[in-house]
Structure 1
Amino acid sequence: MVKPNYICNIFYYSMISGKFAITIHILTLLTKYPNDYLSSEYIAGSINLNPVLVRKEIANLKANHIVESKEGKNGGTKLAVDPSKITLKEIFEMTFESINLGYAKNTPNPDCPVGKKINQNLANLYSDMNQKVSAQLQEISLEDFSNQF
């Protein structure tokens, strides 16, 4: 039998890993329609996601001054920045502070040769991953990414 905690952890990590994809999808769509205010329902239809989750990501983008929104019949969201001036690294950092795949909930045995250094070595691994991901994403603008579509 699968433990409920395991299911919650899988859901949590899948939501985290999906946040960047959702954010990039939103911004790519807005890049393709630079003069239009797109509704969260329209964006959600493109992503095949609940509009509430789309609005949550839009709120984060709005707080970071990447998009602007207007309410009403012709309301929606549009890009507030030049897509050639923002990198995927900046977008990633708005979505996450860093890549962190987590640590064990329990305290590892300090008398074990693995247990005493596992968290330190994981921290080093995550730091290295963040440097590599950041370097790669720094080279790609939102416009570059959007031009693939």
Structure 2
Amino acid sequence: MINGRFATVIHILTLLAQEEGALSSSYIAGSININPVLVRKEISVLRAAGFVVTQEGKNGGSSLAMPPSKIRLSDLYRVVYKEGLFAHSRNLPNQHCTVGKRIGVIMDGLNTEAEQALLKRFRSITIRDLLERV
């Protein structure tokens, strides 16, 4: 399912790449215009994936764990969409229908093809590339 998490993690990492030092979740949330709790949730995911380091305390916050040129959108995509972007319907089609019994296989192939094309493009884009556009 498509959601705003991918754009949010890209925003967070691009902002961290632009700013010096550790940034608070409140500061990041102000840039994205979302609740700091949502930022902390995504920071936690990014930290677990090795993209971000965090420091506790008064002067704490988050910063990049690696150069922005090493963070590819394809890697972020995999962190956000662990099960893939294109999900199946939760309903099992009628297996007695000629379309119903084949549509799942057909859609699997189309979804795989589309996701591979998307990932190919995303492998060529880094956070540094996006920072240069800002």
- TM-score class normalised by the smaller sequence: over 0.9
How do residues 40-59 of structure 1 correspond to structure 2 at under 5 angstroms? Answer: 40-59=25-44
Quick one: which amino acid aligns to residue 105 of structure 1?
R
Superposed CA offset, 1:80-128 (max 9, x none): 1011122111111111125333223222111212101111111111101
**1:6 aligned partner:** none
Tell me which of 89, 95, 118 is aligned to 2:80.
95
**1:19 aligned partner:** 5
Name structure 1 gaps, 5 residues minimum. Answer: 1-12
Tell me which of 106, 111, 120 is aligned to 1:126.
111
Judge conservation of contact 2:74–2:122 (CA < 8 Å) in 1. yes
Quick one: which amino acid aligns to residue 16 of structure 2?
L
- Identical amino acids, percent of aligned pairs: 43
Relative distance call for 1:100 and 1:117 in structure 2 (3 A) is farther
TM-score after normalising by structure 1: 0.84
**2:47 aligned partner:** 62
What is the rounded CA distance, in whole Å, between the counterparts of 1:67 and 1:50 in structure 2? 19
Name structure 2 gaps, 5 residues minimum. Answer: none
What is the rounded CA distance, in whole Å, between the counterparts of 1:134 and 1:105 in structure 2? 25
Judge conservation of contact 1:22–1:47 (CA < 8 Å) in 2. yes
Higher relative contact order (CA 8 A, sep 6+): 2
TM-score after normalising by structure 2: 0.93
What is the rounded CA distance, in whole Å, between the counterparts of 2:50 and 2:87 in structure 1? 30
**1:38 aligned partner:** 23
Quick one: which amino acid aligns to residue 127 of structure 2?
L
Relative distance call for 1:148 and 1:32 in structure 2 (3 A) is same
How do residues 106-121 of structure 1 correspond to structure 2 at under 5 angstroms? Answer: 106-121=91-106
